[in-house]
């Protein structure tokens, strides 16, 4: 349901930032098929090594791993239909800079998808200091996430709220270019 809401389909070129050991990367690779490509970006080298081995074992040839940095996913400019971040946004040290770093990699009309826990859906109390609460609750308030994406040059296209604890945000870039 998550990949469907993000709009991942056959022949697409997509990237997961914060891919870790690749739970969603593997599903995406099957979904985009042989005519598509999936880039798995993470800052954890050992997780990417595990993912490479897993892809080899499963015979997936349409996945490429990329060791990124905290603010630079090291994705090729103008090549991606979609970049997505699933259950990792709250861990980002500098989310606005990372989102700015993603923008150049998107094709015209490309999208950014973020799946993140919503504190109000989890019974977490409201908080004053969102930065510290992100890690404690592993969640980001909808207002904060949308504002950070807007600051990075995106606008909300769709918000899916059908998951029990998470929201699925789909953004497109604003027409104003952002220099990274």
- Torsion of Cα atoms, 172 then 165 then 10 then 50, to 10°: 110
Rounded distance, CA 141 to CA 132, Å? Answer: 12
Q: Which residues of the chain have pLDDT under 70?
A: 123-137, 175-180
Structure confidence at residue 166 (pLDDT):
93
Residue 94 lies in a domain: yes
Residue 178 lies in a domain: no
Long-range contacts of 25-28 (CB under 8 A, 24+ apart): 25/51, 25/63, 26/54, 26/55, 26/58, 26/60, 26/63, 27/3, 28/3
Rounded distance, CA 166 to CA 26, Å? Answer: 21
Phi/psi for 60 (5° steps) reads -85, 120
Rounded distance, CA 94 to CA 30, Å? Answer: 31
**For residue 151, what is the domain's CATH number?**
3.40.50.150
Structure confidence at residue 167 (pLDDT):
95
Which of 156, 128, 152, 154 minimizes the C-alpha distance to 142?
156
Structure confidence at residue 158 (pLDDT):
95
Structure confidence at residue 50 (pLDDT):
97
Phi/psi for 109 (5° steps) reads 80, 0
Q: How many structural domains does the chain have?
A: 1
Structure confidence at residue 134 (pLDDT):
61
Structure confidence at residue 12 (pLDDT):
98
For residue 153, the enclosing domain spans 2-173
Structure confidence at residue 51 (pLDDT):
97
Residue 179 lies in a domain: no
Structure confidence at residue 126 (pLDDT):
56
Residue 93 lies in a domain: yes
Rounded distance, CA 154 to CA 35, Å? Answer: 28
Kindly give the pairing relationship between strand 166-173 and strand 154-160. antiparallel
Rounded distance, CA 78 to CA 89, Å? Answer: 23
Residue 34 lies in a domain: yes
Residue 111 lies in a domain: yes
Structure confidence at residue 168 (pLDDT):
97
């Amino acid at each position: 349901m998550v990949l469907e809401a993000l709009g991942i389909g056959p022949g697409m070129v997509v990237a997961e930032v914060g891919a870790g050991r690749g739970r969603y990367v593997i599903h995406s690779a099957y979904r985009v098929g042989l005519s598509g490509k999936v880039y798995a970006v993470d800052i954890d080298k050992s997780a990417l090594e595990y993912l490479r081995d897993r892809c080899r074992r499963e015979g997936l040839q349409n996945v490429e791993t990329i060791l990124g940095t905290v603010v630079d996913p090291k994705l090729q400019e103008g090549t991606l239909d979609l970049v997505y971040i699933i259950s990792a946004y709250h861990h980002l040290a500098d989310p606005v800079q990372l989102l700015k770093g993603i923008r150049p990699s998107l094709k015209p009309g490309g999208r950014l998808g973020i799946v993140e826990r919503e504190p109000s859906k989890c019974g977490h109390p409201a908080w004053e200091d969102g930065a510290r609460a992100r890690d404690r609750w592993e969640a980001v308030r909808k207002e904060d996430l949308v504002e950070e994406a807007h600051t990075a040059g995106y606008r909300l296209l769709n918000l899916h709220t059908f998951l029990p604890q998470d929201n699925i945000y789909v953004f497109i870039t604003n027409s104003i270019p952002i220099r990274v």
